[in-house]
Amino acid sequence: MGRESIAALKKMVDDLQDRDMGIKRDMTLFESVFQNFPIPATIWLINEKGLCTSRRVTDSKSQAWDTTPVKLTCVLSTYRCKFLQETLDKKIKEAVKSGKTVSFTCSNEDTCVWIRLVPRFSENHCVGVIGLSLDVTSSYKMIKTLVTIRDTTAITDNIRLSINRSIEASYVWSLLDSEAFS
């Protein structure tokens, strides 16, 4: 091998080592942020066969969230609540089949979860889904209480206006499906 070839090979090896170190730093930073995230959340990657290839769960606790180890490889047991789990399973199939992002809320008496499923593509073929679940229960309960007060209580126009402003100012309100409040 000539000196130029060896120098080119050495530069390529150095570049790959720098890239790998950068990826490791980024992953460490991501893990640190995710583990300290103040809202119960789960993010996962699902392949085209429906198998979970990676899953991360925040340290935040929630009644709806599964407490099994983070290395769990099946999203079929993400939630303890059967209704929440069945809804998630149905929506994953919908996202894979349509190839479009699906966002939805799912709630029961105790919990409200907002979920976004983003299909992943390779050469125009859906190869899986990236999913993110956020427990928005506290905001959901506050908004639901305000809606109930507004709709069932004799209140002044000023109070009604204040309640409407409070509801509309909530970022979570913009994420939640209107049927979540029916």
Domain check: are 114 and 155 in the same one? Answer: no
Instruction: Give me the count of residues in the chain.
Output: 182
Q: How far is CA 16 from the centre of its chain?
A: 31
Q: Are residues 7 and 29 in the same domain?
A: yes
Cβ partners under 8 Å of residue 63, min gap 6: 80, 110, 111, 137
How many domains does the chain fold into? 3
Query: In this predicted model, which residue has the larger pLDDT, 111 or 142?
Result: 142
User: Do 67 and 146 reside in the same domain of the chain?
Assistant: no
Full-model pTM: 0.67
Q: Are both 69 and 145 inside the same structural domain? A: no
| Claim to verify: residue 28 and residue 54 sit in the same structural domain | no
Q: Which residue has the higher pLDDT, 101 or 85?
A: 101
Same domain, 55 and 121: yes
Tell whether the model's pLDDT for residue 62 goes beyond 80. Answer: no
Residues 96 and 165 in one domain: no
Compute the mean pLDDT over every residue in the chain, rounded to the nearest whole number.
Answer: 77
79 and 112 assigned to the same domain: yes
Same domain membership, residue 126 and residue 54: yes
Query: Could you tell me if 44 and 32 lie in one domain?
Result: no
Q: What's residue 33's pLDDT?
A: 65
Q: Are residues 50 and 122 in the same domain?
A: yes
75 close to 106: Cβ distance less than 8 angstroms: no
Q: What is the pLDDT of residues 130-175, one digit of tens each?
A: 888 888 888 888 888 898 999 998 989 899 899 989 888 887 787 7
Same domain? 109 vs 66: yes
- Torsion angles phi and psi, residue 35, rounded to 5: -65, -25
44: nearest Cα among 135, 132, 134, 106: 132
pLDDT exceeds 80 at position 86: yes
Residue 16 belongs to what domain range? 1-36
Residue 50's CATH number: 3.30.450.20
Confidence of residue 123 (pLDDT cuts 50, 70, 90): confident
Is residue 41's pLDDT more than 70? yes
